[in-house]
Amino acid sequence: MIRFHHEGKFWMTLISLFYIIVIGFLSFFSHFLLWPIAILLGIIVFLIFNFFRNPPRPIAQPNDQLIYCPADGKVVVIEKTFESEYFKDERLQVSVFMNPLNVHVNRYPCSGTISYSKYHHGKYLVAWHPKSSTENERTTVVIKRSDGTEILMRQIAGALAKRICCYSKVSDSAQQGDDMGFIKFGSRVDLYLPLNAQIKVEINQIVKGNLDVIAECL
């Protein structure tokens, strides 16, 4: 059975009603246009429903030392960089770009306690732009594991994304694999990991949330 994310309830209801109204109108007044428009609107309805799908992704073997992928998409960045918002030191950055056809649910890469959560207004540069991590609309969440290690996860809006949904609040408990948010219509997720993390993915690799391991942090 296909599951859909609750963030899509409004959009799926709206597009469904629009489809019914338009097709009903054309069936009475213009049989000539009925099928072409029905097919075109049907494709749009399919794409909207497909965007908000939320397939069940239980983690087979939960392990806090493993950092699971927080989103579906393609790995576009693996590099050592200076994280200026929270850590203010060098970290390993791994970024996953989500195109509009990907599942857009964001999931916790590890378990722990939320030690930091902040939303930032910003621009809407394309999500693969180098400055999107610091200049675009974004939400930064830091998860503190039971061993004290902190993992920073950043949701970044892209050129098409106009709303970031984040459910994380300071002192909340984070459970590896659970939903932590949603980004609507194209976006990117960054992870900032300790320098001793062992990266398990490669540039341009296609990954899936809760299924692929991004890194191992001992």
Does the active-site annotation cover 187?
Answer: yes
Q: Dmax of the chain from CA atoms? A: 68
**Catalytic member of 95, 117, 168, 187:** 187
For the annotated catalytic residues, the residue numbers are 187
